[in-house]
Chains A and B, each alone.
Chain A
Amino acid sequence: ELKVEQNPLFLSMQEGKNYTIYCNYSTTSDRLYWYRQDPGKSLESLFVLLSNGAVKQEGRLMASLDTKARLSTLHITAAVHDLSATYFCAVPASNFGNEKLTFGTGTRLTIIP
């Protein structure tokens, strides 16, 4: 059974600082997705990583995927308050051409002014 672990679960950081969220998964997968969720809201797609070594950047967020290590990272550069949210990684398990996502536990990020 696929297991996806994120750490840390909670992260409180000051504006302007850098930090990294880690996502480890237990079985082979060549793709991984990152989502953001604001309180009481739905999931917003941040990054789709489709191959080993994939790196995507959007603003102050950068995500990477190492399929051999079964590890993805979400790096936050010079954090700002607007980035406060819960971040989830999700690993797909394919079955007959469709995907079933297994989500990590989420990292609740709070940016302190």
Chain B
Amino acid sequence: KAGVTQTPRYLIKTRGQQVTLSCSPISGHRSVSWYQQTPGQGLQFLFEYFSETQRNKGNFPGRFSGRQFSNSRSEMNVSTLELGDSALYLCASSLVGTASSRGYTFGSGTRLTVV
């Protein structure tokens, strides 16, 4: 069974640009959550999508947005990039948005560097 696939693995962007990250969940999973990991703030919840609807959102500015497609793949977009957006972005896949007995499955992440 394929795992959670995140693309690209690495990105370097310039301040002011925008970026789109992609996450393909495990086949059959309908919930995708996004997390930001930085050395200073740790792991923080961005948002969660289920059946193309955003059900939950963390405390991030509106520059951070996302969407989910009918095949459950999800994208997140960050506009007007700032240096502080440099982070590892992780997505987590689950069947319906709560943990199964195996917990959430995380992708390998996208490491974004803003210069």
Contacts and interface: CB of A to CB of B under 8 A. Distances in A.
Interface residues of B, number: 28
B107 A98 contact: no
Interface in A34-48: 35, 41-48
Nearest to A106: B42
Contacts of A46: 103
Contacts of A43: 90, 92, 106
A102 B45 contact: yes
* Majority-rule SS of A interface residues: strand
Best-surrounded residue of A95, A97, A99 (most CB of chain B within 10 A): A99
Given A42-B90, A88-B43, A94-B98, 14 more contacts: A31-B99, A33-B103, A35-B106, A42-B107, A42-B108, A45-B103, A45-B104, A50-B101, A98-B48, A98-B98, A99-B98, A100-B56, A101-B35, A103-B42
